[in-house]
Amino acid sequence: MGDALLELRNLHARAGEAQILNGIDLVVRPGEVHAIMGPNGSGKSTLACVLAGRPGYTVTDGSVRFEGRDLLELEAEQRAREGIFLAFQYPVEIPGVTNNYFLKASVNAVREHRGLETLDAIDFLALAKEKMEIVEMPGDLMGRSVNEGFSGGEKKRNEVLQMLLLEPKLAILDETDSGLDIDALRVVANGVNALRDENRSMLVITHYQRLLDYIVPDQVHVLSEGRIQRSGGKELAHELEEKGYGWIEEGASA
């Protein structure tokens, strides 16, 4: 067990005016995959937003360290360049900007920060093609406006494609499985698994156990009322599947 990649201590946060996170402690080491499960309203998405630096979310207490640095003092774009990636639950449509143009701008912004040479159109296209095969994405999606008119599955594939292109140190998947049929889920999971290695960590936020059959976690945490109520191995996910979230919530209020 090496040093923590991500370390949350007593994290309290508000979304707008509402207090949502009430003291989260979590340590993610390089190479680990942690699943965060929980009922609706438990604070899963707020956690993702706080980690990604979304405006409107305020940390009221506690700390977040990424590679030993205070993450909270970084802007969203700086976090991305440092290696944090958030796959959105609802990817945003951007009319008038082609997927190709957007992805190239993104990859080059991150490459520049890492001291790598920026890619020209031809090199970028070659890289994109290679990654698109992994998520079985049709080529014509590159020439279309970002996420505009994409099906639910195409949007999620596009998220995973971006992750493959940016090669983050920490990937946060916010309900990437929701709304996907089993075939699309398999493709998305393949994309995520293609990126797994001993240095890369993942925080997989999900409502359903199903995703964890494909992306097998090292640890599972159950979030309720803004706190981690239970942590365990992957078998905890199965236990939740059988007993439902009511089981945890009873424990939380007891």
Partner 1 sequence: MTAALAAASEDLLALADAVAARDPAPGRAIAALRRDGRTAFEASGLPHTGLEEWRYTGLSPLTALDLRLSEDDAQIDRALLERVATPVFACGLAVFANGRPRNALWGVPAGDVELASLREADPGSLACGVDPKLHPLAALNGAMTEDGVLVRIPDGAQLEHPVHLVFVSSSPGTSSVSCPRVVIEAGAGCRAVVIQDHVCVGGGPAHFTNAVTEVAVGENADLAFALVQREGEADIHASNLAVRQERDSRFASHVVTLGGRLVRNDLTVVLAGPGAECVLNGLYVGTGERLVDNHTLVDHAVPHGTSHELYKGVLSDASRGVFRGRVVVRPDAQKTDATQQNPNLLLSDGTEIDTKPQLEIHADDVKCSHGSAIGRIDEDALFYLRTRGIGQRDARALLTRGFAAEILGALPGEALAEALTADFIARLSGGTGA
- Residue placing its CB nearer to partner 1 in the complex, 98 or 193: 98
Interacting residue with partner 1 among 59, 97, 119, 252 (CB under 8 A): 97
**Cα radius of gyration (the chain):** 18
Distance of closest approach, residue 98 Cβ to partner 1, in angstroms: 9
Asked whether position 81 contacts partner 1 by CB under 8 A, the answer is yes
Distance of closest approach, residue 84 Cβ to partner 1, in angstroms: 8
CA distance 177 to 35: 13
- Residue placing its CB nearer to partner 1 in the complex, 5 or 236: 5
Interacting residue with partner 1 among 9, 14, 29, 54 (CB under 8 A): 54
Q: State the distance between the two ends of the chain, measured CA to CA, in whole angstroms.
A: 34
> What's the token pair of residue 70?
């205070």
Stretch in the footprint of partner 1 (CB under 8 A) among 93-101, 126-134, 175-183, 194-202: 93-101
- Residue placing its CB nearer to partner 1 in the complex, 205 or 240: 205
- Residue placing its CB nearer to partner 1 in the complex, 67 or 225: 67
Interacting residue with partner 1 among 95, 181, 242, 254 (CB under 8 A): 95
Rule CB under 8 A: which of 209-248 touch partner 1? none
Q: How many C-beta neighbours within 10 Å does residue 251 have?
A: 12
Non-local (6+) Cβ contacts of 147 within 8 A are 91, 92, 93, 94, 99, 155, 158
Residue 135 DSSP code: T
- Residue placing its CB nearer to partner 1 in the complex, 162 or 209: 162
Backbone dihedral angles phi then psi of residue 64, each to the nearest 5 degrees: -130, 125
> What's the token pair of residue 83?
């290696």
Distance of closest approach, residue 58 Cβ to partner 1, in angstroms: 15
Interacting residue with partner 1 among 41, 60, 105, 126 (CB under 8 A): 105
Interacting residue with partner 1 among 72, 74, 94, 125 (CB under 8 A): 94
**Dihedral sign (CA 145, 151, 155, 158):** negative
Asked whether position 96 contacts partner 1 by CB under 8 A, the answer is yes
Distances (CA, A) of 249 to 20, 112, 156, 235: 15, 46, 30, 18
Rule CB under 8 A: which of 136-165 touch partner 1? 145, 162
User: Exposed, middle or buried, 122 (CB in 10 Å: 0-12/13-18/19+)?
Assistant: exposed
CB neighbour burial string for 45-56, b if at least 16 within 10 angstroms, e if fewer: bbbbbbbbbeee
Interacting residue with partner 1 among 1, 18, 92, 122 (CB under 8 A): 92
The residues binding partner 1 (CB under 8 A) are 52-55, 75-77, 79-81, 85-86, 88, 91-97, 101-102, 105-106, 109-110, 113, 145, 162, 166
